[in-house]
C-alpha cells in the first residue's frame, strides 16, 4: 500500500464574522454563542459533541449557532503522497496527452489503461453505511479477521467503452506477467478490440516492478511500437499517479464496493463476485463513457494545478 496523506477538500465556507446575513437580516447572536465560535476558531476540526462538552451548551445549541453562521463540516479527501519531483513529471505527462488529443480528438479513447489489484477475503466492510431495517434491534454481527484467508490478484483493462478482464495472475512477477501478455492478453485483445481501432491503441501500465522487466519492455516495444505508456515507454508514466488512471480512480473502488456487499466464504465465491461486478459495468456502458469524461477533466485539472494534487477540488469547478 502506498502512503496516504489527508488534506482538506476546502476550507470552511465563508469566514468567521461578527455579523452574517440570513435572508437579508443580521443574525442575532444569543449570549454564550461567542464561546461556541471561539472553540471552532481554536480547532476547526473539532466535533459538535466536543464543543458542547467544552462550553457546557447542548449539542442542539452548538448546531444552531454553526448553522446560523453558515459553517459546514467539510470532509477530507485521501490522496497519493507525492515526492519532490513528482509534480513536474505529472505535469509533463498531462501536457503530452493534451497535445496528442488536440491532434487527434479520439486519442484518450484509444488508450488501454491496465492495472492489477488484490482482492482478499475480508476486503473493506463499511460499518458506517451498512444497516438492517427491523422493528427491533436484530443485533447483527459481521465476522472478520478469519484465520482462513484467501485472495485473488486481478488484472483488468479499460479502453473507450470496453472493459477487458478480469484475469487472475498468481504470484505477479516479470515472468508471469510476460506469459500473460503473450498469451491471454493477446487473445482478449483480438476478441474484444475492433479492428478499426486496434492499430491506434496505446497500451498503458504503471511502474510496478513486474512491468519494468526487460523482457516485458521488449514485448511492448515490438507489440505497441512507440505506442505504450509506462516506465521507459514512448510516453513516460508519472510515478504515484493513481488519480490519472481509470483503473484506480474508478474500477477498483467500484468492484470492491460490489464484491464486499456480501460475506465471502471461499475463493471461488470471491472470483464469482469479481466477475459479476465486471459484468455489471458492461451492462451499463454509460459508466465508462462518464469515466472518459472524468479522465479528461482530471488531466486538465492536473495541468491547472501544476501537477500537484487536484482531487480535493475536482468537484468545485
pLDDT over 80 at 50, yes or no: yes
Q: Are 109 and 85 in contact (CB under 8 A)?
A: no
So what's the pLDDT on residue 104? Answer: 96
* Average pLDDT rounded to a whole number, residues 50-73: 85
pLDDT over 70 at 100, yes or no: yes
Pick the CATH number of 85-313 from 3.30.420.10, 3.40.50.700, 3.30.56.10, 2.60.40.420: 3.30.420.10
Q: Determine how β-strand 25-26 pairs with β-strand 21-22.
A: antiparallel
For 214-265, write each residue's pLDDT tens digit. 999 999 999 999 999 999 999 999 999 999 999 999 999 999 999 998 889 8
Q: Report percent pLDDT > 90 for the chain.
A: 60
pLDDT over 50 at 306, yes or no: yes
pLDDT over 90 at 316, yes or no: no
Task: Cis check for the bond before 44: say yes or no (omega within 30 of 0).
Answer: no
For 262-290, write each residue's pLDDT tens digit. 889 899 999 999 999 999 999 999 999 99
**Which part of the chain has CATH 3.30.420.10?**
85-313
Q: Read off the C-alpha cell for 218.
A: 521488449
What is the spatial distance between Cα 96 and Cα 110, in angstroms, rounded to a whole number?
15
So what's the pLDDT on residue 309? Answer: 94
Amino acid at each position: 500500500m502506498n502512503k496516504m496523506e489527508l488534506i482538506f477538500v476546502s476550507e470552511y465556507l465563508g469566514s468567521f464574522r461578527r455579523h452574517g446575513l440570513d435572508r437579508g437580516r443580521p443574525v442575532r447572536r444569543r449570549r454564550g454563542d461567542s464561546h461556541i465560535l471561539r472553540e471552532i476558531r481554536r480547532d476547526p476540526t473539532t466535533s459538535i459533541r466536543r464543543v458542547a462538552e467544552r462550553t457546557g451548551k447542548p449539542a442542539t445549541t452548538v448546531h444552531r449557532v454553526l448553522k446560523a453562521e453558515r459553517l459546514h463540516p467539510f470532509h477530507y479527501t485521501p490522496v497519493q503522497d507525492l515526492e519532490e519531483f513528482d509534480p513536474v513529471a505529472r505535469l509533463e505527462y498531462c501536457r503530452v496527452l493534451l497535445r496528442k488529443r488536440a491532434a487527434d480528438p479520439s486519442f484518450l479513447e484509444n488508450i488501454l489503461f491496465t492495472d492489477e489489484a488484490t482482492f482478499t477475503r475480508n476486503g473493506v466492510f463499511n460499518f458506517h453505511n451498512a444497516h438492517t431495517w427491523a422493528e427491533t434491534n436484530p443485533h447483527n454481527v459481521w465476522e472478520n479477521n478469519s484465520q482462513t484467508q484467501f485472495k485473488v490478484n486481478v488484472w483488468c483493462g479499460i479502453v473507450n467503452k470496453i472493459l477487458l478482464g478480469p484475469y487472475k495472475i498468481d504470484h505477479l512477477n516479470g515472468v508471469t506477467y510476460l506469459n500473460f501478455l503473450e498469451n491471454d492478453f493477446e487473445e482478449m485483445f483480438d476478441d474484444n478490440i475492433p479492428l478499426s481501432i486496434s492499430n491506434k491503441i496505446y497500451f498503458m501500465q504503471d511502474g510496478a516492478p513486474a512491468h519494468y522487466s526487460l523482457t516485458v519492455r521488449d514485448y511492448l516495444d515490438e507489440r505497441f511500437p512507440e505506442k505504450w505508456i509506462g516506465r521507459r515507454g514512448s510516453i513516460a508514466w508519472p510515478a504515484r499517479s493513481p488519480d490519472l488512471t481509470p483503473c484506480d480512480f474508478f474500477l477498483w473502488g467500484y468492484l470492491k464496493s460490489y464484491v464486499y456487499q456480501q460475506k465471502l466464504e471461499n475463493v471461488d465465491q470471491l472470483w464469482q463476485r469479481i466477475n459479476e461486478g465486471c459484468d455489471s459495468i458492461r451492462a451499463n456502458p454509460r459508466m465508462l463513457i462518464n469515466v472518459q469524461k472524468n479522465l479528461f477533466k482530471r488531466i486538465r485539472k492536473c495541468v491547472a494545478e501544476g501537477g500537484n494534487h487536484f482531487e480535493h477540488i475536482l468537484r468545485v469547478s
